[in-house]
Structure 1
């Protein structure tokens, strides 16, 4: 958890403002949910490993007897927790307000979340997530809208060159079945396959054997990885029928392939490109897993050539809202990793054209100073009052670092803004 100095805060707000503006023009409406949710909801088995990282909140009014009684089950002491993502709160929000929302609801949530992480570069215990979600649309149109809005936002931030890697949980399951992995072992196998970009094919096959996978299944995975290494371009496979089929074993569900092809065609059209063109910023990744336990279909991950890690991701989670509402509702979302993203955004001149520091003598009347300030404010300037110090050079250097572009000195008795000698800070 971090403090932010004024320059850092201004940079973060500029990036957030751009993200909000782009999502708004794409037709998404911003909502807000509480920072806490019911403990039972946060630990309902739909948050994957993030549930283990949740900060729990003690019940109010606990006495010593209640604490002793809960010694064997500490969770009995808590009834709330800080949200660890924005998707679980959105599902609860939609279930609570469905009657007041449109049939297809396009939501924006930009807010902090909390996880008891081991802090490291780009990973914090409090961080901001920027989520867009579409609820009520089961077609590839929903995924395409999310991808187009995300890529457009990346471009608006000056981060052209990003691309979205795509897969589908149903294809992953069908592929594991084709390799010969039993149903009850597939969750563990996915954890291993998700490490492919870190440990390579040999590391994956070695770990599969350590997990006790059958030799025939491991050999099938090894053979397929060898085939992919020989046929795949460095940036992955095109999101076309030929590209997807070429990356997978035979016998994959055609309706899922068609769903992904529709996504690729829609994004290409939105970007003014031919479907299947190498310029379309979409790639099919047959071993993209995404760790969240609630994904049921299409999954995404946002990549950029400037960094080796992802800048965001998401996917379809059709089963989650039904757990709160009692009936199935299709839903899909895409989340930007703001803390990683903000460090990559190019610095720009964020100063107001007229940002003036009024350096005044200690005996200058407050009324005169505020009158001068108000006159400059009416002109559209940004104004700061600073009492003169012995080291005026240091004072002006700090003002320049804070984004001010000019200064004027004010002696006692000066109250006419037209007579100020405003000089540039250069």
Structure 2
């Protein structure tokens, strides 16, 4: 029987030209994050299943790839529960592993600690365009900073990184979990019903107000309270950023002064940033974010060509405490690396030279020319001449080469480099 050599469903093989683009994007983002002082760390792909399924990952906890314990027999007793067979899982994001990392290593880390991570995560998604079962995330986090300096810097660094990588036309959407809680409280909903309300509000962009209003009675709201909620949210959409704090204080009963002050500071800082380079942002009263661990400001970056956000994050002041035994202020921003790469043009490629040599050229001459070009800092690969010349040049270009030198035995001169596409 012929073996199926296709990759697992929801995963991909990546060809060299594709990887070259991804490497370029990652190098650009990395350079920006390093300038902001974020230090690269690495965490294992496997985490304890209790940590991964601790109730903080929202819907993602339903998508965990679980790993069977070592040493199990080939068969197990009927009625054995899955939880008795599993002790590890593949990480579904980089934030949960980061909090364990910080809990174990905080004594050796600066305060605040600026963390940068890049690596694969796994979710048992239904595969579709832009959603994969294995994909890379690119995260920065600041742990130990209680002020909105963390939120403002994360947004500034990430918008600068995306712009440097070639993704323009983005919009930053900002909200606050504490604001959402105040909305729910003002609607006289019991706290156990808040999550359901937030889930419905998060669908507004997809199902519109008619769809949201149809769901809200199931969340415990009557028509009068739905009307008030809709009026409040509609009134806050498009609010002047310079008046955000005052507008929130006047519009949302019971919203703590601390929340108003924090959002006003963020608005002022983003307005100042927009005076130095293009930054588009707005307060979005229906932004929720799916993770259960957020405790304060939350944010997303959207792009017109993407159906979902291309980056997102927020403050999670109580998540680190699960590892450390005491709460530590923390805030993070995650780039959806796969979506970013799909949206960015290939752009400039790293110079790569093919030393195209005829069969009768001495090997020492081939390697000598390649060595000379490499000494100039160029990536060089000797490639033997085969077939039709024009067709081979086309293949070289497809493979990612940017120029070539044609080495022939009938001339002792060093051949000039010619850009691919020039014939």
Same fold (TM over 0.5): yes
Cα–Cα, structure 1 residues 230 and 99, in superposed 2: closer, same or farther, change >3 Å? Answer: closer
CA distance, structure 1, for counterparts of residue 252 and residue 399 of structure 2: 58
Give 1:243 shift.
Answer: 4.2
Instruction: Please tell me whether the aligned partners of residues 177 and 288 of structure 2 are also in contact (alpha carbons under 8 angstroms).
Output: yes
1:286 aligns with 2:285: yes
1:17 aligns with 2:27: yes
CA distance, structure 2, for counterparts of residue 232 and residue 423 of structure 1: 55
CA distance, structure 1, for counterparts of residue 334 and residue 258 of structure 2: 26
Instruction: Please tell me whether the aligned partners of residues 365 and 413 of structure 1 are also in contact (alpha carbons under 8 angstroms).
Output: no
1:91 aligns with 2:91: no
2:135 pairs with one of 118, 127, 130? 127
CA distance, structure 2, for counterparts of residue 407 and residue 152 of structure 1: 35
3-state SS of 1:296 partner: coil
2:6 is matched with: none
Cα–Cα, structure 1 residues 139 and 231, in superposed 2: closer, same or farther, change >3 Å? Answer: closer
| Farther off after superposition, 341-350 or 178-187 | 341-350
3-state SS of 1:313 partner: strand
Give 1:231 shift.
Answer: 6.9
Matches within 5 A, 1:203-242: 203-209=211-217, 211=218, 213-215=220-222, 218-226=223-231, 228-229=233-234, 232-233=237-238, 238=241, 240-242=244-246
CA distance, structure 2, for counterparts of residue 55 and residue 387 of structure 1: 46
2:394 is matched with: 397
1:186 is matched with: 194
Instruction: Please tell me whether the aligned partners of residues 193 and 219 of structure 2 are also in contact (alpha carbons under 8 angstroms).
Output: no
Give 1:227 shift.
Answer: 5.4
Cα–Cα, structure 1 residues 406 and 303, in superposed 2: closer, same or farther, change >3 Å? Answer: closer
Cα–Cα, structure 1 residues 21 and 212, in superposed 2: closer, same or farther, change >3 Å? Answer: closer
Cα–Cα, structure 1 residues 298 and 231, in superposed 2: closer, same or farther, change >3 Å? Answer: closer
CA distance, structure 2, for counterparts of residue 376 and residue 199 of structure 1: 58
2:69 is matched with: 59
| Farther off after superposition, 12-21 or 400-409 | 400-409
1:369 pairs with one of 366, 370, 374? 366
1:407 aligns with 2:404: yes
1:324 is matched with: 323
Deviations 1:209-236 (A, max 9, x none): 2x25141xx4323333245446743xx6
Deviations 1:375-421 (A, max 9, x none): 2222333322222212222211111233434333334587x6x5335
Instruction: Please tell me whether the aligned partners of residues 237 and 284 of structure 2 are also in contact (alpha carbons under 8 angstroms).
Output: no
2:385 pairs with one of 385, 388, 391? 388
The Cα RMSD (Å) is: 2.3
CA distance, structure 1, for counterparts of residue 265 and residue 417 of structure 2: 60
1:68 aligns with 2:63: no
1:345 is matched with: 344
1:45 aligns with 2:55: yes
Instruction: Please tell me whether the aligned partners of residues 303 and 310 of structure 1 are also in contact (alpha carbons under 8 angstroms).
Output: yes
3-state SS of 2:355 partner: strand
Cα–Cα, structure 1 residues 405 and 331, in superposed 2: closer, same or farther, change >3 Å? Answer: closer
Cα–Cα, structure 1 residues 41 and 389, in superposed 2: closer, same or farther, change >3 Å? Answer: same
Cα–Cα, structure 1 residues 420 and 232, in superposed 2: closer, same or farther, change >3 Å? Answer: closer
| Farther off after superposition, 388-397 or 219-228 | 219-228
Give 1:365 shift.
Answer: 3.7
Calculate the TM-score normalised by the size of structure 1. Answer: 0.90
1:257 pairs with one of 256, 260, 277? 260
Give 1:152 shift.
Answer: 1.2
Instruction: Please tell me whether the aligned partners of residues 299 and 313 of structure 2 are also in contact (alpha carbons under 8 angstroms).
Output: yes
CA distance, structure 2, for counterparts of residue 424 and residue 212 of structure 1: 64
Cα–Cα, structure 1 residues 289 and 60, in superposed 2: closer, same or farther, change >3 Å? Answer: same
3-state SS of 1:148 partner: helix
CA distance, structure 2, for counterparts of residue 228 and residue 34 of structure 1: 42
CA distance, structure 2, for counterparts of residue 212 and residue 38 of structure 1: 34
